[in-house]
Amino acid sequence: MIDHLVYAVADLEAGVDEFEQLFGVRAAGGGQHIGLGTHNRLLALGPHTYLELIAPDPAQPEPALPRPFGVDGMRGPGLVGWALTVEDVDQARATAITNGFDPGPAIDGQRRTPEGGLITWRLTTNALQGGVIPFLVSWGDTPSPATTAPQGLTLRHFHVEHPDDIAPQLRALGTDVQTQRGPEPALTARISGPRGTHTLSTWSTPEPR
């Protein structure tokens, strides 16, 4: 199951404003990724899926490593990653390896909410194929952010593109998300809200559909 889609913007508050104008729902929640140099806001896309808006955090010092999802070298706003939710990341990783694909080592993560609460998770760190291969995430005892993020949006369609056939890797991870050949790695999502339906893609502004 798709856990969340990641959409990178240069300025978080400006991105929140733009999405509210487009869809009619204002992103909220989220928080700071301390040490990584990013912060985020969230929008639910259904009962178990959400959209993460992520941007460089000017309140943090420059991180020791590049910021996640390539936000340091953004060509523009766009979808930069996605995640599959699993009950046990380590078991799911072992299954994927048995099926012929290693999604990368698993690490623990956490962030503080604006209210001061602590959210924890465990995820794989594979960053291959330009973001079109999902990472695996488990929230453990933490409720999925989809249950607390602002409601009102619906994910209508999602597919991935790549010059090579990446369907075997996706099947190894247990997902049947639609794939197609394209000139470069790309993600495309069609999302509807109170103010209409728009298509989000990799490194592009939302388009009405």
57-79 pLDDT, tens digit each: 999 999 998 898 888 877 789 99
Higher pLDDT, 163 or 119: 163
Q: At residue 206, does pLDDT exceed 70?
A: no
Q: How far is residue 69's CA from residue 7's CA, in Å, rounded to a whole number?
A: 9
Question: What does the pLDDT read at residue 205?
Answer: 47
DSSP label at residue 92: H
Residues 43, 61: Cα–Cα separation, whole Å: 27
The predicted model gives 139-149 an average pLDDT of 91
Residue 8 has pLDDT above 50, yes or no: yes
The pLDDT score that the predictor gives to residue 113 is: 75
The confidence score (pLDDT) of residue 110 equals: 83
Mean pLDDT of the region 83-96? 96
The rounded mean pLDDT for the chain is 91
pLDDT for residue 209 is more than 50: no
CA–CA gap between residue 31 and residue 38 (Å, rounded): 9
pLDDT at 129 over 60: no
Write down the pLDDT at residue 23.
98
Q: Answer with the residue of higher pLDDT: 34 or 189.
A: 189
- Domain range summary for the chain, segments of one domain joined by +: 2-208
Beta pairing class for 28-33 and 38-44: antiparallel
Query: pLDDT value at position 141?
Result: 84
For residue 113, with 0-12 CB atoms within 10 Å meaning exposed, 13-18 middle and 19 or more buried, which class applies?
middle
Superfamily of domain 2-208: 2,3-Dihydroxybiphenyl 1,2-Dioxygenase, domain 1 (3.10.180.10)
Query: What are phi and psi for residue 111, nearest 5 degrees?
Result: -155, 160
